[in-house]
């Protein structure tokens, strides 16, 4: 489930970038931040799940009989996620995936001159709701700013986080392929 979540989140970030590259239109900042937040949370949760799997009696019993490639991919993913664990947690917190009242309070207090709006999208058929809170992106950026050290370049931090997410996704994907091959293919594979 977490792998599928991450696959969708990464695919959406790629689609946003591709559209931006093709059209030159501004990046939809809130969508980018949203999918960064979701991907960081999913990688965080995947790491916890991988730890549980590796500690399970079923995995321990099968570990010695795994083919070398499967064993290697699982171990590499586990090692990558462990090595970057603090950074993943920090990014998750910095980018508001763990939104706290203090961050929102900081944002709403310090966003003098921020622009945004609340609109009703008349083209909406009601699902999803036609209410659009465009100012929410400014609140999220303000909450992110509250977590960063003074004079930090938010865009540079976002690039670092994206690098960790992309590298993490490569490892998560390899581990998931290995786990599926070793434990699920006989039952669900086509």
83 within domain boundaries: yes
Residue 55: give the domain boundaries. 2-108+135-188
123 within domain boundaries: no
Distances in Å between the Cα of 176 and the Cα atoms of 9, 14, 94, 160 are: 16, 20, 27, 24
* Predicted pLDDT at 175: 93
115 within domain boundaries: no
Exposed, middle or buried, 6 (CB in 10 Å: 0-12/13-18/19+)?
buried
Total domain count, the chain: 1
114 within domain boundaries: no
77 within domain boundaries: yes
182 within domain boundaries: yes
pLDDT tens string, the chain, 190 residues long: the values are: 888 998 999 899 989 989 989 999 887 777 888 888 888 889 989 999 999 999 999 999 999 999 999 999 999 999 999 999 988 887 777 666 666 677 777 777 776 665 666 677 777 665 666 677 777 777 777 777 666 667 777 677 777 777 888 898 899 999 999 999 998 888 886 7
32 within domain boundaries: yes
CA dihedral sign of residues 140, 115, 10, 76: negative
164 within domain boundaries: yes
pTM (two decimals): 0.74
Backbone angles phi, psi at 64, to 5 degrees: -70, -25
Q: Which of 171, 172, 183 is nearest to 62 (CA)?
A: 183
């Amino acid at each position: 489930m977490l792998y599928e979540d991450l696959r969708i989140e990464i695919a959406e970030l790629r689609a946003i970038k591709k559209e931006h590259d093709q059209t030159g239109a501004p990046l939809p900042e809130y969508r980018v931040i949203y999918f960064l937040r979701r991907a960081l949370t999913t990688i965080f949760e995947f790491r916890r799940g991988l730890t549980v799997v590796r500690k399970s009696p079923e995995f321990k019993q099968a570990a010695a009989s795994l083919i070398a490639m499967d064993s290697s991919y699982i171990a590499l993913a586990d090692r990558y996620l462990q090595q970057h664990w603090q950074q993943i947690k920090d990014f998750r917190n910095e980018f508001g995936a763990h939104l706290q009242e203090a961050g929102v309070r900081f944002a709403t207090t310090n966003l003098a001159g921020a622009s945004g709006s609340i609109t009703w999208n008349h083209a909406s058929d009601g699902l999803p709701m036609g209410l659009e809170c465009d100012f929410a992106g400014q609140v999220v950026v303000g909450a992110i700013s509250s977590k960063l050290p003074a004079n930090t370049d938010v865009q540079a931090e976002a690039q670092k986080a994206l690098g960790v997410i992309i590298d993490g996704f490569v490892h998560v994907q390899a581990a998931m392929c290995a786990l599926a091959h070793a434990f699920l293919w006989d039952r669900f594979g086509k």
